[in-house]
Structures are given as structure tokens and as C-alpha cells.
């Protein structure tokens, strides 16, 4: 049965048979591959059938009989069955679409992400004897020999992806793309096809700039959805909470998650929402991943109130008998440098002891520029002023060795990209020096661990005013994989002590059973 659109030109018709054919193929031949439903037939939810499958394959150009939609943008929170549905669509195109010699691809920001949909599809074929009869399965491709169709997952290197003649592309997690190169390369590869289909599947991202390909297409999809742009070949499907919705309400969760109550349980969402309220660094991730709200790549972190709840006096004499881990953040020659000692205590608490250095002749200048009482802090013993107008690394070296004689330092982590002769000299002095990355992957885990310690009030810091000031300068950055790292809002707002603290925690988290080099050389005063 064909249903005609009631427009002036009646350019498009809805082919109910073709729409139902796609639904029937999926529900007949496709099985779930994971979770409680693994091995069971895939029965599509109403929203999957009516919002995605039937529109994509049912709407036709009245004159040509070709598909109306050439591109779809499907933006949906995690755990709503996005990858499973994408794999089912890929197999329908591979086995049941009218195209012969079709090239079907899954693409993503990296090879492993692109392989997610492909691997699900491969398992689906292996689990169904009817599909398996018409398929040849290889490590990186599925072939339908009767039609000459192939399905492959592609790497993110756009330079290697020229020369394709794509019929269908499933672009997974578009928000992770570093640029538009792969997207444009693959889209242009569809130019010779009569009815190509480009499907972008993604959760919301954290980069709302004009140069970001996902944000660009998201913005375009919203305009098509709101009918401010007329593009009958583009299908926008966006499930999201509004920016002003209360993230703790079940009604908000239902609005954003069409599979709420099916693959997404109420208790899971309640726990995730509570975590977002308890952990400031997780709120933006929760909004993106579970409510499909676009955020920035910046996030709130620890408030001053939360930080000062950990203000307890340090017992320096007691700390001298506790093994500790250190982080060293060496600044530019005219700026603050910081060393933090991190002490895991037997009572389950963690104590930190920071040290700061600043060139004496630049301290007054920096005080005026940064509007921070460096000189007062120096008079109180919280900052050591080194001689001259540049950082005196010989003095810092001497001081660190003196600290190493007082405290049982197992390891000193330093920024591998900002090391200096001082690192070599400290190593020669007997310090166990270990490089530490400043990227998202290296920083994320210890930063999250530090946050947990503060919120649980397990971190004891003794209220060093320099570190307190720097904690309030922190701006968290978040990458597409939801890793976090510390940054600062402005150049005058220093975070050296925070970075050195995170490195010291990272050293502890990665520690092995080796003893301290200072211990081995017998220079620790016990």
C-alpha cells in the first residue's frame, strides 16, 4: 500500500510494503548479541520502527522510485541500542537492499570504535543460519557474493580512504572526529551511487564550535527538524532533554531516552544522576551521555567549601615515617614551581604537603600582575623566594634533596615534556625520577581519584593558602572519551600545585613494590 504525501507537487510517496519489509527482515533474521537478550530475536521498539527504519526505507521519490532520504542524523544517549540497531541496518542493506555491488562501511574516530558496529553485525550473521548461507565472513569484511556486496569497518585515517564507491555509510560517534576530513572523504565517495545512504549515529558532544563536524551537522539537523531549512533528503532523529530540565527527575530521563524502561533501568539512571550531583566533574558527562545535552569541554570541579572541609592540621613529624610519592611541576623560568608530597596513611586518609618556589625579583611584579599576595605568602613560609629574576634551579635542587632527607619519598614524577637539567641532576643525586604525561589519558584517573578523596573528606591538606588559591583556578577539560585533565581559566591563575598533587597521586596509583632510592642509599633520617 502506498500513502501519498499531500504536498503541492506530491513529490514523495510512502511505500508501506518497503517500510515493513525492512522491519520484517530485522525481526526475522537479526538476533541480539549481548546482555540478557543475547540469542533472542530482535523485536524493534515502536520508536525504532516509526522514527528510523520505516522512514528511511519507506519514503520514495514518486518519479524515480528511489529513496527519499540520502542522509540521517541519529543523536541518542548511550544504552539505547544505537550500535545494535546500526548493525541491523547495515545487514539489511548488505543482504536485502536492491543495490548490487554495494559497498557498506562503518566509520568512526578510531578503528576500534568503527569495529563495534561491524563486530556486532558479524556475530549477528554467524548466529543466523539463513544469513550465514548467503555470507562469506572474514576478519575485516562480510561479503554477500550473490549480489557482490561487501561490508567493512574503516580506520579513521582519511588519507587511506580515497577510492571507495560507498553505497551506505554508518558513521558512529561522530562527535569524536578530530576534524571533518574523514567525513568529507567518505561522503564524496558516494557520488556515483543512485540512492546512497549516509547515517550519522552519535551521542551529544562537548565541542560547540563552527569547526566541529558533529556540531555543524547537529545544528543543521535541528534546523531541518524545526523546518527553518527545507531539505527533504535529510532525516533528523534527535532524542534529548532540554537544557533547563531538572536532571534529577524521571520525566527528564524519559524524555531523552526512548528505551527508558527497556534497556535503561530507573535504578541505573537514579544512580548516575546522583553521581552527577555528587561529583562536579561528572555532571557534564552525565548530561552528554545520558541526557544527550551538548555541553562545553569545560566542567566545574571542587568548590572552595568542599576543599576547606578537608582542612585539618598536618602532623609533620608523623609524616616523616610514612612512605610518600611526589609530583614536581617545573614552571617557566619566571614563574611558580611546585612539589607535592602525597602520603597514604594507615587510617585510610591521604595527606598532602606542597612546596612552592618563585624568583624573588619577579615576585613583586607578579603580585601586581596576578593580584595575588605572593610576598605575604613568602613571609609566612608558604613560598620560597629564589635569588634573582629567574628560577634558581640549583636552589630548588638543594631544597628537594633536603626534603628527601626528611621524608621517605619513593618516587618523584615530573612532566616528561617540560623536563630540564634539574631532573637529570636529581636523578644523579639519588632521586627516583619518573616521567608523567600531561595529556588526558595520564591525568584523568588521578584527577578523578583526587576529587573522590576531597568529596569523601579523606584528603588532608593543612590549608596551604597557595594551593587553596590554585584549586579555585582549576578549569576541568573533557575529551570525547570523557577523560579529564586540569587546566586554568587565565594565564594569571596558576595551577602548578594542583598539577604536582595530581602527579603525586598518579605516582601512588601506579606504584609497585620497589623501595625508595633514598631508603636504599641510607640518606633518610628516621
What is the three-state SS of 316-367?
A: HHHHCCCEEEEEEECCCCCCCEEEEEEEECCCCCEEEEEEEEEEHHHHHHHH
Contact (Cβ atoms closer than 8 angstroms) between residue 26 and residue 87: no
pLDDT at 161: 58
Nearest CA-CA partner of 293 in 249, 240, 216, 215 = 240
Handedness of CA 518, 522, 525, 526 (dihedral sign): positive
CA gap 422, 334 in Å, rounded? 16
pLDDT at 491: 63
Exposure pattern of 88-107 as b/e (b: 16+ CB <10 Å)? bbbbbbbbbbebeebbbbbb
pLDDT at 123: 96
CA gap 260, 481 in Å, rounded? 24
What residue has cell string 578530530? Answer: 178
pLDDT at 478: 84
Cell triple for 27 = 525481526
CATH classification number, 68-239, choose in 3.50.50.60, 3.40.50.300, 3.30.450.40, 3.20.20.220? 3.40.50.300
pLDDT at 162: 58
Residues β-bridged to residue 358: 385
- Return per-residue pLDDT of the chain as tens, 526 residues: 344 444 445 799 999 999 999 999 999 999 999 888 899 999 999 999 999 999 999 999 999 999 999 999 999 999 999 999 999 999 999 999 988 888 999 998 787 888 899 999 999 999 999 999 999 999 889 999 999 999 999 866 645 555 678 899 999 999 988 888 889 989 998 887 889 999 999 999 988 887 889 999 999 999 999 999 999 999 999 999 999 999 999 999 999 999 999 999 999 999 999 988 888 888 888 999 999 999 887 777 888 889 999 999 999 999 999 999 999 998 766 788 999 999 999 999 999 999 999 998 888 888 888 888 999 999 999 999 998 888 888 999 999 999 999 999 999 999 877 667 889 999 999 999 999 998 998 999 999 999 999 999 999 999 999 999 999 899 888 887 778 899 887 666 789 999 999 999 999 998 853 444 444 444 333 2
CA gap 219, 196 in Å, rounded? 22
304-520 fold: Nucleotidyltransferase; domain 5 (3.30.420)
CA gap 225, 182 in Å, rounded? 25
Residues β-bridged to residue 4: 13
Region of residue 18 (left: phi > 0; alpha: psi -120 to 50; beta: else): alpha
| Sheet architecture: strand order including 103-107 | 136-137, 141-144, 149-153, 103-107, 168-172, 197-202, 71-75, 234-238
Cell triple for 191 = 557520488
pLDDT at 376: 93
C-alpha angle 296-253-76 in degrees, rounded to nearest 5: 60
pLDDT at 321: 95
Using one digit for the tens of pLDDT, what is the confidence trace for 415-444? 877 667 889 999 999 999 999 998 998 999
Nearest CA-CA partner of 413 in 501, 525, 323 = 501
Using one digit for the tens of pLDDT, what is the confidence trace for 117-147? 999 999 999 999 999 999 999 988 999 999 9
Q: How many distinct helices (H) and strands (E) make up the chain?
A: 21, 21
CA gap 201, 112 in Å, rounded? 16
* Domain ranges (residues) in the chain: 68-239, 244-284, 304-520
304-520 and 68-239 share a CATH fold:
no
Nearest CA-CA partner of 342 in 208, 500, 477 = 500
Amino acid at each position: 500500500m502506498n500513502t501519498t504525501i499531500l504536498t503541492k507537487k506530491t513529490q514523495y510517496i510512502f511505500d508501506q510494503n518497503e517500510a515493513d519489509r525492512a522491519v520484517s527482515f530485522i525481526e526475522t533474521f537479526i538476533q541480539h548479541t549481548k546482555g540478557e537478550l543475547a540469542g533472542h530475536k530482535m523485536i524493534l521498539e515502536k520508536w525504532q520502527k516509526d522514527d528510523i527504519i520505516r522512514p528511511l526505507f519507506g519514503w520514495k521519490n514518486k518519479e524515480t522510485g528511489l529513496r527519499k532520504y540520502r542522509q540521517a542524523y541519529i543523536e541518542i544517549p548511550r544504552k539505547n541500542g544505537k550500535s545494535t540497531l546500526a548493525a541491523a541496518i547495515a545487514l539489511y542493506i548488505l543482504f536485502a537492499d536492491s543495490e548490487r555491488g554495494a559497498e557498506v562501511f562503518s566509520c568512526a574516530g578510531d578503528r576500534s570504535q568503527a569495529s563495534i558496529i561491524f563486530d556486532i553485525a558479524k556475530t549477528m550473521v554467524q548466529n543466523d543460519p539463513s544469513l550465514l548461507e548467503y555470507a562469506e565472513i572474514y576478519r575485516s569484511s562480510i561479503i554477500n557474493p550473490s549480489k557482490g556486496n561487501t561490508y567493512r569497518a574503516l580506520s579513521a585515517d582519511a588519507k587511506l580512504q580515497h577510492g571507495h564507491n560507498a553505497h551506505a555509510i554508518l558513521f558512529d560517534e561522530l562527535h569524536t572526529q578530530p576534524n571533518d576530513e574523514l567525513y568529507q572523504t567518505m561522503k564524496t565517495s558516494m557520488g556515483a551511487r543512485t540512492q546512497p545512504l549516509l547515517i550519522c549515529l552519535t551521542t551529544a558532544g562537548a565541542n560547540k564550535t563552527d569547526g566541529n563536524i558533529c556540531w555543524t551537522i547537529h545544528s543543521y539537523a535541528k534546523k531541518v527538524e524545526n523546518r527553518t531549512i527545507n531539505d527533504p533528503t535529510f532525516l533528523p532523529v534527535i532524542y534529548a532533554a532540554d537544557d533547563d530540565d531538572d536532571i534529577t527527575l524521571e520525566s527528564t530521563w524519559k524524555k531523552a531516552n526512548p528505551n527508558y524502561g527497556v534497556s535503561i533501568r530507573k535504578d541505573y539512571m537514579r544512580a548516575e544522576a546522583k553521581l552527577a550531583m555528587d561529583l562536579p566533574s561528572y555532571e557534564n558527562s552525565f548530561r552528554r551521555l545520558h541526557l544527550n545535552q551538548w555541553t562545553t569541554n569545560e566542567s566545574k570541579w571542587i568548590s572552595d567549601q568542599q576543599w576547606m572541609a578537608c582542612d585539618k592540621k598536618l602532623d609533620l613529624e608523623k609524616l616523616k615515617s610514612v612512605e610518600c610519592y611526589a609530583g614536581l611541576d617545573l614552571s617557566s623560568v619566571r614563574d611558580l614551581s611546585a612539589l607535592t608530597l602525597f602520603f597514604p596513611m594507615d587510617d585510610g586518609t591521604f595527606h598532602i604537603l606542597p612546596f612552592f618556589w618563585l624568583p624573588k625579583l619577579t615576585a613583586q611584579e607578579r603580585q601586581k600582575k596576578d593580584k595575588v599576595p605572593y610576598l605575604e605568602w613568602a613571609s609566612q613560609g608558604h613560598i620560597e623566594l629564589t635569588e634573582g629574576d629567574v628560577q634558581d634551579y640549583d636552589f630548588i635542587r638543594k631544597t628537594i634533596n633536603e626534603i628527601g632527607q626528611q621524608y621517605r619519598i619513593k618516587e618523584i614524577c615530573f612532566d616528561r615534556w617540560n623536563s630540564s637539567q634539574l631532573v637529570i641532576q636529581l636523578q644523579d643525586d639519588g632521586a627516583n625520577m619518573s616521567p608523567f604525561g600531561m595529556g588526558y589519558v595520564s591525568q584523568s584517573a588521578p584527577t578523578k581519584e583526587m576529587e573522590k578523596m576531597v568529596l569523601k573528606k579523606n584528603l588532608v591538606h593543612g590549608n596551604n593558602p597557595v594551593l587553596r588559591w590554585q584549586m579555585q583556578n582549576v578549569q576541568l577539560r573533557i575529551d570525547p572519551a570523557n577523560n579529564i585533565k586540569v587546566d586554568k581559566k587565565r594565564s594569571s591563575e596558576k595551577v602548578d600545585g594542583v598539577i604536582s598533587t595530581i602527579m603525586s597521586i598518579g605516582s601512588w596509583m601506579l606504584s609497585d613494590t620497589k623501595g625508595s632510592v633514598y631508603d636504599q642509599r641510607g640518606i633518610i633520617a628516621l
